[in-house]
Structure 1
């Protein structure tokens, strides 16, 4: 079967609002380590990992063997109405690693479901449907999660079950706070929070939900310490803090195991997903028992924390810790970030290279301005693919390349990917210069 046949079939039965990457979409049919092969036999170095999900890379023996052991028992599903040893063991590990005291864990299938569960818990605990969220954020595609998503391109409905008030993001290029230095930005953001609470809310607010680094938003992040400054204000009236760690968790930032730790603060609730399953559907929310026990009726997740996914999750987490992949993310991420900044410093179409660890972005603008240039980003995106490198796209304006390689990335692979990236960016920049 040709890719063209599959593309035609895809378009015939799947909705148009499900985008496909590339002018000529590809089907990935095999993978090993940090490399994948498409249906035409072309191999690529993968710097996006299924949207930061194949955190260890492809065909990892320890994960495969753990899943196969569970499959051989014949028990693929039992539901949480029965004890699941793999689930309990994984919950124990995550509770311990979360940094949250007296923690409880509830498993779901996706980051969307995890954030939905966190919002359910927080609104029940506080008896309020008022939520603080951050501009340029993304928290999922379900009803409430979409309601706290501050990015118009991902807000598929104007309807909202929550009353949401919006805070300024960590945007460094545009917006009211972008002209300030880090300390001034934190001070201004705190003033903004106080003003929002005074003018846009009524009575008790349930929670603030925020990403330490905004994923879909283009890996934008605020100055370190902002969340702690915000939480001092939240604590005055008991407002909960939800850290959305769906993309920033598990050591990806290199600096810390969780993104929130860069702010010297502990959240009341933490949501996780993506990399913990390394491709298996696994996510959840962890929080203080007092908060997580706020659900006033029976609730469970049919597939969340199932035996196969949690078998994978245990193997992934053990591998991550045994191999100190957080340190590897810091080491290989520095090769990419430092190399990119040096190599494209002379290009005025590149406004910023940003991120932490193996969570990096390049933002494109029209030369000499801060006006977004999505066309240049697309050219670079396609040029990366032509050079044998898969990356992602994102940002509020669609003008950002996003990179989230597997945390097992080697230094040699980082340098190889860097060379392809630099060549692609320069090709894209040259193509945008009038003849």
Structure 2
């Protein structure tokens, strides 16, 4: 029912974006595709006939027949031509061929429910019909000029984006990724404060980007002059801050001449449900905000937003060849419009509450579920040896549960110091039926784990 209601809200947006001519025909095709998606029959899934797997929700979309490189050829190229640092998931890496909304298909036509969203990057859905149609139209008109020339789309987009942030966060820089956004944010912070150190959290993305980081305890904040970066949730296992922590941190930072940077790369754009930005859930206002991933629904985009005062401190001009090109800005604008028209932030809150309640049942059922935490559609399930010690479940056992979920058609992420936490960050277009299926799959995978453990004793 929610899918049908959501679909109905898109019709006015489609008409406003495309009109009634050729563009309207494109939109109508996209709308029919989406209607088919929401009410179809079950397609091929990875479920084995020998096992009683949970039934995957219906989907009438049939993937195109794959005619590309063979799996063996692709794996050979990876061995010979890729850096060994290029990580892949699963013992037999998944070769993905096609996507639509919350679904992915591999080259054999097997369907998967994507509950990791391209590492929290697919916000409104894989190949969302509205975003896809707008991108195709713009690609046929003008893709790129760089910002040495004016084009209307960057101005429209920057105005849309800045209107979503509180005063005085109104100066916008457009880049291509979260790493670029965080690097630029650090340049701004260092230029403004004349301090070159940062405080960040262990296993957060800024630590990977910069190559170092200092633990963000209040004691360290009080003893040093830092330009800090604080990540919200994310790679470290979807860990939420204690109540009042960020408020106290931001006050200490500013008392000592620093600036507070909020990384919204994963938490922004309504994913947390109650608010559009993660920092708003803590009642604080940052000096600099970085964003990426869901900003473009899979298109490489990023942004930094700061105050006029901090922006004016830069002693040199900034220039980004691809940042803010016309194609990126059209896609970015459409993503914002789809989030608004579809009421996706509210859906994240309602569906997130349902997800947390259902996962909490697993915590009661299984001794190895140590914690279920998160907000909206950004949730973590921490796996432990037992609830008393809270020691991480061994990696081999976690991987067995994870692989079982994949075999039943559910894709999850992993995070935490020991990768002991399953990360759940699906596209915001999922349904309650999808959540029930996902929880059923995780339950079966955990039952399998209990059986394996008992047999090993």
- Unmatched tracts of structure 1, length 5 or more: 149-164, 169-189
Residue of structure 2 equivalent to 1:243: 262
Q: Which of 339, 350, 360 is equivalent to 1:341?
A: 360
Residue of structure 1 equivalent to 2:413: 392
Partners of 1:393 and 1:212 lie apart in 2 by 16
Give the 3 Å change call, closer, same or farther, for CA 431–100 of structure 1 in structure 2. farther
Q: Which of 91, 112, 122 is equivalent to 2:179?
A: 112
Partners of 1:369 and 1:396 lie apart in 2 by 16
Partners of 2:308 and 2:453 lie apart in 1 by 55
Query: Is 1:320 equivalent to 2:339 in the alignment?
Result: yes
Structure 1 stretch 90-99 or stretch 262-271: which is displaced more? 90-99
Cα deviation for residue 140 of structure 1 reads: 6.1
Contact 1:63 1:316 in 2 (8 A): yes
Residue of structure 1 equivalent to 2:212: 147
Which secondary structure does the structure 1 equivalent of 2:123 belong to?
A: coil
Contact 2:182 2:206 in 1 (8 A): yes
Structure 1 stretch 260-269 or stretch 83-92: which is displaced more? 83-92
Residue of structure 2 equivalent to 1:88: 155
Partners of 2:370 and 2:105 lie apart in 1 by 32
Residue of structure 1 equivalent to 2:81: 13
Counterpart mapping for 1:282-361 below 5 A: 282-361=301-380
Residue of structure 1 equivalent to 2:146: 79
Give me the TM-score of the superposition, normalised by structure 1.
0.85
Cα deviation for residue 399 of structure 1 reads: 1.2
Contact 2:121 2:297 in 1 (8 A): yes
Q: Which of 298, 322, 325 is equivalent to 1:279?
A: 298
Q: Which of 214, 219, 222 is equivalent to 1:197?
A: 222
Residue of structure 2 equivalent to 1:167: 216
Partners of 2:351 and 2:364 lie apart in 1 by 20
Partners of 1:245 and 1:140 lie apart in 2 by 15
Which secondary structure does the structure 1 equivalent of 2:303 belong to?
A: strand
Which secondary structure does the structure 2 equivalent of 1:260 belong to?
A: helix
Q: Which of 86, 95, 100 is equivalent to 1:32?
A: 100
Give the 3 Å change call, closer, same or farther, for CA 92–140 of structure 1 in structure 2. farther
**Total equivalences in the alignment:** 386
Give me the TM-score of the superposition, normalised by structure 2.
0.81
Which secondary structure does the structure 2 equivalent of 1:147 belong to?
A: coil
Structure 1 stretch 301-310 or stretch 260-269: which is displaced more? 301-310
Q: Which of 381, 387, 391 is equivalent to 1:371?
A: 391
Contact 2:200 2:207 in 1 (8 A): no
Q: Which of 415, 421, 424 is equivalent to 2:442?
A: 421
Residue of structure 2 equivalent to 1:154: none
Query: Is 1:210 equivalent to 2:198 in the alignment?
Result: no
Partners of 1:99 and 1:423 lie apart in 2 by 45
**RMSD of the TM alignment (CA)?**
1.6
Residue of structure 1 equivalent to 2:193: 126
Structure 1 stretch 95-104 or stretch 319-328: which is displaced more? 95-104
Q: Larger Cα Rg: Structure 1 or Structure 2? A: 2
Contact 1:378 1:399 in 2 (8 A): no
Which secondary structure does the structure 2 equivalent of 1:132 belong to?
A: coil
Residue of structure 2 equivalent to 1:159: none
Counterpart mapping for 1:35-50 below 5 A: 35-50=103-118
Partners of 1:136 and 1:232 lie apart in 2 by 24
Partners of 1:424 and 1:84 lie apart in 2 by 52
Query: Is 1:98 equivalent to 2:165 in the alignment?
Result: yes
Residue of structure 1 equivalent to 2:91: 23
1:213-232: per-residue Cα shift (whole Å, max 9, x none)? 1x111111212321111112
Cα deviation for residue 292 of structure 1 reads: 2.1
Partners of 1:259 and 1:432 lie apart in 2 by 39
Partners of 2:412 and 2:130 lie apart in 1 by 26
Cα deviation for residue 431 of structure 1 reads: 2.4
Cα deviation for residue 240 of structure 1 reads: 0.4
